[in-house]
Amino acid sequence: MRTHVPRLARWLVAMAAPPAQRSWLLADLEEEAAARARTAGAQAARRWSWRQAFTSIAPLIAQRIEATGPLLGRRHMRLWRGLSTDIKLSVRRLLHTPGFTIVCLLTLALGIGGNTAVFTLIDRVMLEPLPVPRPSELYRLGDTAA
């Protein structure tokens, strides 16, 4: 059977449509394109198919997002409910191994302090302007790099 809906247009509609509506949307698109091909020709049916695909993608994606909203909310809440037990378990394990805890805390402190020092230095030296009225008129004194 010859189809009048381009393969890419079918794929776009199939990816944008919710799974429950996908098969009947594609069948309806194909049926209408075949009817248009009989009355106006194959090229007109292909152009109509492209217009239909492009104009229906945004509403179909919005419909899918609305349908997945409550699902994501439930997953999000499950994550937060389990977080307190994870934190309790972590604290309990860190209390049982004081040497490892001290090494972890020192590593974090050195890493955070080092990053803060480096970024403060970069900010002061490279990003902030010089505290003089006309920095373009400054001259270098001393050895020349020859």
Domain limits, the chain? 7-73, 82-127
The count of C-alpha atoms lying within 13 angstroms of the C-alpha of 128, restricted to the half-sphere facing its C-beta, is: 10
Q: Give the pLDDT of residue 89.
A: 92
Which of 95, 84, 14, 98 lies closest to 56 in space, CA to CA?
A: 14
Per-residue pLDDT of the chain (146 residues; tens, 9 = 90+): 567 788 888 888 888 888 888 888 888 888 988 998 889 888 888 888 888 888 888 888 888 777 777 766 666 666 677 788 889 999 999 999 999 999 999 999 999 999 999 999 998 888 877 778 887 787 777 776 65
- Name the residue with tokens 């604290």: 91
Q: What is the pTM of this model?
A: 0.44
Q: Give the pLDDT of residue 97.
A: 94
Q: Both tokens of residue 115?
A: 């990053």
